[in-house]
Amino acid sequence: MQQSSMDSRDIVLTMDLMQDIPSLKIEKNKLMQVIVNLLKNSCDAIDEHNDSRSNQIKISTYHIDDRIGFRISDTGVGVEKERQKNLFDFGISSKGSSGFGLYYCKSFVTANNGILIFESKGLGKGATVIMEFFKNRG
């Protein structure tokens, strides 16, 4: 869904998706909305990062024990350590928006027996969002 936006920004999308990943009982449309929001944020972070390295987003999936995970990494601007702890709070935005997007993502993932983790080594170092769902917890 975001391919044309990425193409116009010269962003290279790489996917490493497991072929036999177990299925999740989850609302597919809402999960897609979360993934699209995370991809848009990656694109925006790349737009903010003005240096010569390549513009890349990588999506991967994995299955470890009772966890099914999605990982989205980008070569964008990154986030300072101080801001990372509040990133999923309602009203927090560096783009002048409502700050609802990441809050919604976190709420959806948590409500569906999952966790959402944000990682960045700081400004200029890109970021990774990890979304994991636990199959056997209730």
Read off φ and ψ for residue 38, nearest 5 degrees: -65, -40
Query: What pairs with residue 16 in β-bridges?
Result: 60
Q: What is the pTM of this model?
A: 0.86
Residue with tokens 């999308």: 13
Domains of the chain: 3-134 (3.30.565.10)
Going by C-beta distance under 8 Å and a sequence separation of 6 or more, which residues neighbour residue 74? 42, 43, 45, 46, 56, 57, 58, 126, 127, 128
pLDDT tens series, the chain, 138 aa: 577 778 878 899 999 999 999 988 999 999 999 999 999 999 999 988 766 568 999 999 999 999 999 999 999 999 998 887 888 776 655 555 556 789 999 999 999 999 999 999 998 899 999 999 998 655
Distances (CA, A) of 77 to 39, 48, 73, 115: 14, 6, 12, 23
User: How far, in Å, CA of 65 to CA of 79, rounded?
Assistant: 30
